[in-house]
Amino acid sequence: MKGKDSFINNKIDFESPNKNIVPLTTKINNGKLFIGGCSVEQLVRNYDSPLYILDELTLRNSCKAYKNALNKYYEGDSLPIYASKANSSLFMSNLISSEGFGLDAVSEGELLTALKGGVPYEKIVFHGNNKSDKELEFAVANKIKVVVDNNYDLERMINFSEYLDRKIKIMIRFTPGIECHTHEYIRTGSFDSKFGFGLENLTYVFEEINKFKNLDLVGLHAHIGSQIFELEPHRDLGKILVNFAIDAQKYGHRIQELNVGGGLGIKYTNEDDPPSIEDWVKTISESVTEECKKNNFQLPLLMCEPGRSIVSTSGVTIYKIGSFKEIPGLKTYISVDGGMSDNPRPITYQSNYSACLVKDPLNKNQINKYTIAGKHCESGDVLFKEIEIGSCQTGDLLCVFGTGAYNLSMSSNYNRIPRPAALLVSNGNAELIQKRETSEDLLKYDVLPDRFIKQS
């Protein structure tokens, strides 16, 4: 098979990075792949592989796209909040804070990372469907706003407010009952969801909170899913949130904040066609504004929680090709030096990505079909079931695009394989933002009981 056009030739959309497969700074110099002005081959020589790379320009442009669109389309105050589960680190916390974002956390670890990374406590919200007592205590002690997800949360927040005898601001999350076309594991807005109060419970919740003078219900939250390409469900969500904010007034609550969640999809492959960040924000902003004006309801602080669409396109993962296995008449396996421990999404969600050879990003050489497998002891550890790339050999480098979200944050030490290093690239400079783990690091928390030590 002869060479064919590469997706890298696609026109770059600088205004809405989620509509690109590759980072904004992706270039081909002398036939080789460069990102952030850095030679990918040289980065691997310096930092080894597998290797996570984040492009700073793409990250910042993604943040600015949300901020600019909110300023353009929403007449009231707004606060975009980064969903840190997508990629949580001191670096990411610091970067999004510098761009004026808040942060959404779902554990004490993510809360601590946000605070240490420089996110102001008043811009952090704490989510989760099964928060521990310790996590809630940490959030309350640091004056972080808690999103109450269920009765268990509510009971404990009532106890905190009574015991501390001070005002505690909370939001409540409910399930809006909106279906959208996405993977069943990442649907969070339908009636059958582990997240949030059911609509039928909201009257009880409003009444219960009103009994306690120190519990201050300031906002409502709902989220309808992830990797969504449709705008209409988000338009519906805006209307639903406003109407329940109006209902809350009957029970003595003044809702000042509405959080529409996130969920905007990104372009992983040429077949994907997500809306732009601007169109998504416009849809949400117009929906909330129209419903507020129709009901003479004061415009609330509008919050949204993008995660994937902030960080995913900025990230790539570089692997080194190792063994080949040809099954005549069926397929040829290529194995790389990573896999499900650094990217569990293909085996978990059957997720698709785009990739190219670092030495032949434009597919100028003869094209072959390969199945690209990871190195882990699982038959399902396959990154690509069938991909067309140029002819390659052991030692060549493979670049997988769109891995900035849910790769590092979902990585593991399965088979006792250390996690990769992560780099930030910008203007020809590369900076370490996460050290590569070593095999010795994996033993740090192992404990051999004394009686076994004596026996040995």
Q: Known catalytic residues?
A: 377
188 token code pair: 């969070």
- Contact at 8 Å (CB) between 284 and 357? no
- Contact at 8 Å (CB) between 234 and 224? yes
Distance from C-alpha of 310 to C-alpha of 83, rounded to nearest angstrom = 9
Query: How would you classify the pairing of strands 215-221 and 168-173?
Result: parallel
Distance from C-alpha of 380 to C-alpha of 441, rounded to nearest angstrom = 27
Chain-centroid distance, C-alpha 38: 25
- Residues for the chain: how many in total? 456
Helices 277-294 and 232-249: crossing angle in degrees, nearest 10, is: 30
366 token code pair: 């003869």
- Contact at 8 Å (CB) between 86 and 307? yes
260 token code pair: 């529409």
Cβ atoms < 10 Å from Cβ of 322:
14
338 token code pair: 């990573």
18 backbone φψ class: left, alpha, beta (φ>0; ψ -120 to 50): alpha
Distance from C-alpha of 362 to C-alpha of 157, rounded to nearest angstrom = 56
What residues contact residue 327 under an 8 Å CB cut-off, 6+ apart?
Answer: 333
Distance from C-alpha of 350 to C-alpha of 327, rounded to nearest angstrom = 23
Q: Which of 313, 312, 370, 317 is nearest to 340 (CA)?
A: 317
Residue with tokens 């293909």: 346
Distance from C-alpha of 219 to C-alpha of 204, rounded to nearest angstrom = 16
**Beta bridge partner(s), residue 431:** 424
